[in-house]
Chains A and B, each alone.
Chain A
């Protein structure tokens, strides 16, 4: 592998914005046919490094060698011509065009000004086949799953002749099965000689997939080497700078009555006859592939959508479906896994977002700015929301901090029961441990917690009981003490345990 010449060499790069140092003296080499994982916490400098590699920003110090030649000013266009492509976290496909058109975007084969559709489809099909991807090229991109969209985007970049492909958290928000598809794709890319930069928060994934790992912390490289030379605790220590342990607390079994009861809920083919009971002080997880039944629970329980059949009870009282106000009034709090679309209002400040729900529940009529920060302060403290500016718009915070604001917004309102959908979605490992501790605390306070998740590891860490769902149906239910992580993964992936 490494006896070849690196296709990209980054030497002693530094970058600062105003007074804040984003990168200092960062060096790394990317080799063809190698998967190079880039790790670090939210704000460690990963995105700045990616921007420099893709020509979107210029380094303040150091230099860049691409294909052996030293690059002076790198622009986005030149980076692309030199074969460096980035697949960002947010998909950049034209959702109303077909897969074929997306792959051939800007490069449709034509005779004169007439598009040669047959050739376009054939080329697109070929590009997908070479990467071992099986997707119909005549489907609209918007109809694909997130994993498939990532694949189409990768195929497009490879067809354009990319030799270096930067994948920014391609498996975030994906279930195990979809993530496995991406892993296969990444391996195929490596085998075809592409240098892959793989950014991920999932340590297990990185250790299983990557050949080489570079860890950034506070803008500097703190660890670099072969993946086989390190292990999970080592990477955590490198990323966080200390040991992070998120282990199950020894909870005394002190459960109350039923806090949340869902019975016989059916909604189309997404959820069929779903029934679960959560006692106060208990954490029950609903585990399934991303996008399966557990992802529908938010819409149903929050009152956004009415199921065809079924009953909901909170604290022993019947709650009608389909009304947000009734759901909130019952003491049920639903925390979305999609904070951008359903969680926070990016233009409003951190403090206003923190109190957005509570002030409405309290029927506060006046908006007292002088009291706002004082009332938000305990929430910021308890949920460890860290901001540099005193009270910036929430859209400017890192993902982990936004997630904590979202949790604080809902869980600071004295819930009786709550639904948490992927509560550690896109956050780094230290924030994840913080959030796990928060969920423990919630249960200890006697809240009935329903956890909708696609992550078996998180379920093992947080839940007392787990309900596995697949294709909208419940397939198994276990006490967490009676099942191991591997067994749980096997069930979640492949049907009932044999």
Chain B
């Protein structure tokens, strides 16, 4: 017979076991943090605090969801935070100038999609490395955002308060939006040909193209989609903060989203990724920030902790891949 007698079986068993452990490890860390936090401070387990954490991570979750799909296809967009900054700035100015809610929402999400598409066009047709191209647009967008609000805080009063502070069935509306986005992305990645195309493109772009996948079109859609979700995240952020100020969105938000996706096990090289992992990554970062806040640790350390968590997760992911 032509079968490999010794190769595949044990190796598969090993990879399968490792994968379960990987997510289990993340879950265990989450549980540890929850236990640690509830012992150290009473405030942590209060309904108000937990709902607040969820409200805060919703924005990152929406950005990270689009990024998970994009990174699985081997893409990268570093300008999603800048996109959020521009979207919030534009939306805030439109509200301030008395435009209607629907027109504002439509215009800002259309703008965000366009920004994503521009990134996609540059990456797809000039073959500039996505990291470089989108880092450039990120810087550019941060500047544009400051320009739009003229470096001042622009308030939207209580417009969008229903989205930002409203609740349904006791849960913040923002959480419903985020959950819906995550669910849709998860379904796309698993049950649509488009989602599987993303895995194929991330795994080997040449093979994907030769197999009849329209790689250029798919990439444009993926970048545009990631941009649209950044726009949605921008609206969510604006609704929660009630104003667009210098520093809203930007690179800090971007890094948190990338960190969450990477912690969740999505490969930076493409070809691998899960929404569930991303959800865990988002929650982990949100909880760490919240706990450090409650323990009244300086915000400097909070930034340090995000960096440290990302570094550890990246090393763990690489080690795991090398062993598998």
Contact = CB atoms under 8 A, between A and B. Distances in A.
A415 to B, nearest CB: 13
A332 B200 CA distance: 22
Main secondary structure of the interface of B (DSSP, over half): helix
A360 B1 CA distance: 32
A368 B3 CA distance: 28
A341 interface: yes
- With most chain A CB atoms within 10 A of its CB, the pick from B9, B191, B272 is B9
Nearest to A384: B2
A401 B3 contact: yes
A392 B12 contact: yes
Contact of A343 (B4, B7, B207): B207
A226 interface: no
Contact of B207 (A22, A342, A361, A431): A342
Contact of B200 (A356, A369, A389, A401): A356
Contact of A22 (B5, B8, B195): B5
Given A345-B200, A366-B192, A430-B2, A396 B210 contact: no
Contact of B11 (A41, A336, A361, A396): A396
A17 B6 contact: yes
A400 B2 contact: yes
Contacts of B272: 347
Contact of A302 (B190, B197, B210): B210
Interface stretch (A42-50, A113-121, A188-196): A42-50
Given A43-B7, A366-B193, A401 B210 contact: no
Interface in B142-196: 190-196
Contacts of B4: 42-43, 386, 388, 397-398, 401
Given A342-B207, A359-B193, A41 B212 contact: no
A348 B199 contact: yes
B10 interface: yes
B271 interface: yes
Nearest to B213: A360
Contact of B2 (A42, A325, A389, A392): A42
A45 B195 CA distance: 39
Interface in A328-367: 328, 334, 336, 341-348, 352, 356-357, 359-361, 364-367
Interface of A: 16-18, 20-22, 41-45, 48, 218-219, 302, 304, 324-325, 328, 334, 336, 341-348, 352, 356-357, 359-361, 364-369, 384, 386-389, 392-393, 396-398, 400-401, 409, 428, 430-431, 434
Interface of B: 1-13, 15, 190-197, 199-200, 203-204, 206-214, 271-272
